[in-house]
Structure 1
Amino acid sequence: MAHLPQIKIPATYMRGGTSKGVFFRLQDLPEAAQVPGAARDALLLRVIGSPDPYGKQIDGMGGATSSTSKTVILSKSTRPDHDVDYLFGQVSIDKPFVDWSGNCGNLSAAVGSFAISGGLVEASRIPEHGVATVRIWQANIGKTIIAHVPITQWDVQETGGFELDGVTFPAAEVQLEFLDPADEGEGEGGAMFPTGNLVDELEVPGIGTLKATMINAGIPTIFVNAQELGYTGTELQEAINGDAKALELFESIRAQGAVRMGLIKDLSEAAQRQHTPKVAFVAPPADYVSSSGKAVNAGDVDLLVRAMSMGKLHHAMMGTAAVAIGTAAAIPGTLVNLAAGGGERSAVRFGHPSGTLRVGAEARHVKGQWTVTKAIMSRSARVLMDGWVRVPGDAF
């Protein structure tokens, strides 16, 4: 029996924020994978090492967590006033599918750097020293992201003193602006609040009725109160991820909320849409010790947030969920805003399992509707390895 040899595909393995992923230029992919479809999905699954019934992704580039089972495809943008098109694929660890339904805010921090290094940004837009402004079209959700990438001698500067909780070593700061972050194409009415309410009563079988803020901003997110679930908001990963009943509870909330938000038509569709919506629980400030052993004092934060990603409690905070947090915090009356003490605010610092994060948002109430013009946060990014990934020739 003849066996096809492995093929080599140019790729870069990058950290962006508190996530890692494999980055490709569209032009470098095999021809069959340059268009959306089964061949592309099969290729990316094989690159990452999924589906893996062992849940380890040993035979691929994935790291067996939602934060490290990620892929990015970039190309020069054909859209006016944009430099690069950014497509994100969240690869399931144990199932044979790639979820294209949302963005990864953390990896967004690496997109500008990769685009510059990969020749996808016009050389005239890159200064000798200073900051390059990269205009990104986020193709999954049809939104614009502006990345401010530090430059030294015309090259991306990756090293620096910026510290990000959830990342072990300091690096150069990359500021991100998520413009008009409400996902207006999602949900029943296509609005930031798809039900029309800042707070809803969400019926969850086996639990009862929960208060919930369901918002489309950054990524569709369902916020609930920690106290209603019997939590304090100070929980770390092991408190949730080792509890099968807790995971089932959050998946039930996620599925019911997805139906209410109009993201799916019935509960059976939830399993094929793992990346969105997210579920997060919020609580007022409290003292706790982060996963690294760092003490977080109640006075250091405005509120506490814990978020689920791909069925598990996230080790820090998804970048897109941070946009949702910042947006909801800026709108008086949401559960996020109330947990932070209520009132108007243009920025919020929240505690997550790895430490704290600050995110700003500009919200306006116009003609009875809330709009957000931008959300801003700082992340960092770094190339970990570049060269080629190899996959069996019959993998796609």
Structure 2
Amino acid sequence: MTAPQIRIPATYMRGGTSKGVFFRLQDLPEAARVPGTARDALLLRVIGSPDPYGKQIDGMGGATSSTSKTVIVAPSTRPHHDVDYLFGQVGIDKPFVDWSGNCGNLSAAVGPFAIANGIVDPERVPRDGLAVVRIWQANIGKTIIAHVPMANGEVQETGDFELDGVTFPAAEVQLEFMDPAAEEPGEGGGGAMFPTGRLVDELDVPGVGTLRATMINAGIPTIFVEASAIGYTGTELQEAINGDAQALAKFEAIRAHGAVRMGLIGHVDEAARRQHTPKVAFVAPPASYTASSGKVVRQEDIDLLVRALSMGKLHHAMMGTAAVAIGTAAAIPGTLVNAAAGGGVRTAVRFGHPSGTLRVGAEAAQVDGTWTVTKAIMSRSARVLMEGQVRVPGDAF
């Protein structure tokens, strides 16, 4: 006798250039309301993983790092916050849920989801205008402030804000990532924005060589290298890298050895179990190119080029958390990101990615020889795609 399917209230949402399945903590089966194997097993089954075919046909996932995501939201247990937000990056062909980092794109959907599901105090939500939602990002111990547009007492989802990598315009959601480089105790990297104490390191990667790298904890731990040093121009699209097994292996080697230098793992072998973080990206000075949509990105319209990998593949646009890292590093003279943008003091940059361009700002200052960043700012959009219930076999977790 096989177990029948159970129903779990859920919402399928787009946030920025990602999609994920959103849950209220209280709606999860009791065993999955706390961290552990039951929660992981449930989310794997919801998304359709592990799938040796790499398609996630029997689940809600879309077979890419951008669409293999889950979110759990609850009323906040932290003072001066509205909601607690937990993000799970679900493996596609392997049985793991990575809880080590945030998703900056889906962060844009947390405020709208929380308002629509009664998690935010109604007295803090205006009938019209902007609702300010104070989000506690539980994975990394950070505050995110979302400015969510409201119309006639409901979240406004439609609008004319265009985001490269998203086909249709929608309402703009501005996000403020507060103290993005301040790590909670226990996080890798010893709590420093630059865990090695240097803006640029010499990173030895067996089989690849010695690369100059900027390794930063801001938004998400990220390793930046120069495109020219690894044989690229910075104008590459997904097919130029994702179909090249040797290239992907090279990037994974860079990521693993960088993770050790950042103090995120003790040995390169541990990187396989921590795929969500750190990210690895390559930068180059601005140049014109044709984005994946066919749109021409002009050299004069951008400050630099950035390409980033997520979960072992070149991202189709840019991860929101990596955009925070880009904005932060660009604001600090001496980093490879700042140099690619032309050097000097910068409060914002517009960078080119495979789908187009993105602007991100950061407020940085040097105090007693140490760089600090008070916040990073960028705009995204979010939309409910479907709401109701997901079904999974009752014995799946």
> Does structure 2 conserve the Cα–Cα contact (< 8 Å) formed by 1:19 and 1:106?
yes
Match of 2:211, SS state, is strand
> Does structure 1 conserve the Cα–Cα contact (< 8 Å) formed by 2:141 and 2:183?
no
> Does structure 2 conserve the Cα–Cα contact (< 8 Å) formed by 1:194 and 1:262?
yes
Shift in Å at residue 183 of structure 1? 4.4
Determine the C-alpha separation between the residues in 2 that align with 1:370 and 1:50: 41
> Does structure 1 conserve the Cα–Cα contact (< 8 Å) formed by 2:218 and 2:328?
yes
- One-letter identity of the residue aligned with 1:75: A
- Aligned residue number for residue 59 of structure 2: 60
Alignment CA distance shift 1:267-1:314 (3 Å)? same
- Aligned residue number for residue 341 of structure 1: 342
- Aligned residue number for residue 134 of structure 1: 133
- Aligned residue number for residue 107 of structure 1: 106
Are 2:97 and 1:98 aligned?
A: yes
Deviation string 1:48-82 (CA, Å, 9 cap, x unpaired) is 00000000000000000000000000000021110
- One-letter identity of the residue aligned with 1:290: A
- Aligned residue number for residue 34 of structure 1: 33
> Does structure 1 conserve the Cα–Cα contact (< 8 Å) formed by 2:68 and 2:92?
yes
Deviation string 1:327-366 (CA, Å, 9 cap, x unpaired) is 0000000000000000000000000000000000000100
- Aligned pairs (5 A) from 1:11-50: 11-50=10-49
Match of 1:259, SS state, is helix
> Does structure 2 conserve the Cα–Cα contact (< 8 Å) formed by 1:70 and 1:90?
yes
- One-letter identity of the residue aligned with 2:307: R
- Aligned pairs (5 A) from 1:294-373: 294-373=295-374
Are 2:207 and 1:241 aligned?
A: no
Are 2:47 and 1:75 aligned?
A: no
Shift in Å at residue 189 of structure 1? 2.8
> Does structure 2 conserve the Cα–Cα contact (< 8 Å) formed by 1:183 and 1:220?
no
Are 2:151 and 1:168 aligned?
A: no
- Aligned residue number for residue 202 of structure 1: 203
Determine the C-alpha separation between the residues in 1 that align with 2:208 and 2:84: 42
Match of 2:66, SS state, is coil
State the identity %: 83
Determine the C-alpha separation between the residues in 2 that align with 1:127 and 1:195: 45
- Aligned residue number for residue 257 of structure 2: 256
- Aligned residue number for residue 88 of structure 1: 87
> Does structure 1 conserve the Cα–Cα contact (< 8 Å) formed by 2:189 and 2:217?
no
Match of 1:373, SS state, is strand
- One-letter identity of the residue aligned with 1:131: L
Structure 2 gap ranges (5+): none
> Does structure 1 conserve the Cα–Cα contact (< 8 Å) formed by 2:80 and 2:134?
yes
Determine the C-alpha separation between the residues in 2 that align with 1:63 and 1:340: 34
- Aligned residue number for residue 269 of structure 2: 268
Determine the C-alpha separation between the residues in 2 that align with 1:122 and 1:282: 43
Deviation string 1:188-225 (CA, Å, 9 cap, x unpaired) is 43200000000000000011100000000000000000
Shift in Å at residue 187 of structure 1? 3.1
> Does structure 2 conserve the Cα–Cα contact (< 8 Å) formed by 1:183 and 1:218?
no
Determine the C-alpha separation between the residues in 2 that align with 1:309 and 1:39: 26
Match of 2:300, SS state, is helix
* TM, length-normalised to structure 1: 0.99
- One-letter identity of the residue aligned with 2:368: K
> Does structure 2 conserve the Cα–Cα contact (< 8 Å) formed by 1:237 and 1:314?
yes
- Aligned residue number for residue 216 of structure 1: 217
Match of 1:67, SS state, is helix
Match of 2:12, SS state, is strand
Match of 1:227, SS state, is helix
- Aligned residue number for residue 282 of structure 1: 283
Determine the C-alpha separation between the residues in 2 that align with 1:87 and 1:50: 19
Structure 1 gap ranges (5+): none
Determine the C-alpha separation between the residues in 2 that align with 1:150 and 1:81: 21
Match of 1:115, SS state, is helix
> Does structure 2 conserve the Cα–Cα contact (< 8 Å) formed by 1:183 and 1:219?
no
Deviation string 1:242-276 (CA, Å, 9 cap, x unpaired) is 00000000000000000000000001110000000
- One-letter identity of the residue aligned with 1:284: P
Aligned-CA RMSD value: 0.5
- One-letter identity of the residue aligned with 2:225: V
Match of 1:326, SS state, is helix
- Aligned residue number for residue 376 of structure 1: 377
- One-letter identity of the residue aligned with 1:177: E
Determine the C-alpha separation between the residues in 1 that align with 2:24 and 2:166: 26
- One-letter identity of the residue aligned with 1:133: V
Determine the C-alpha separation between the residues in 2 that align with 1:19 and 1:128: 28
Determine the C-alpha separation between the residues in 1 that align with 2:190 and 2:217: 11
* TM, length-normalised to structure 2: 0.99
- Aligned residue number for residue 9 of structure 1: 8
- Aligned residue number for residue 230 of structure 1: 231
Determine the C-alpha separation between the residues in 2 that align with 1:392 and 1:128: 40
> Does structure 2 conserve the Cα–Cα contact (< 8 Å) formed by 1:189 and 1:195?
no
Alignment CA distance shift 1:74-1:302 (3 Å)? same
Determine the C-alpha separation between the residues in 1 that align with 2:189 and 2:33: 32
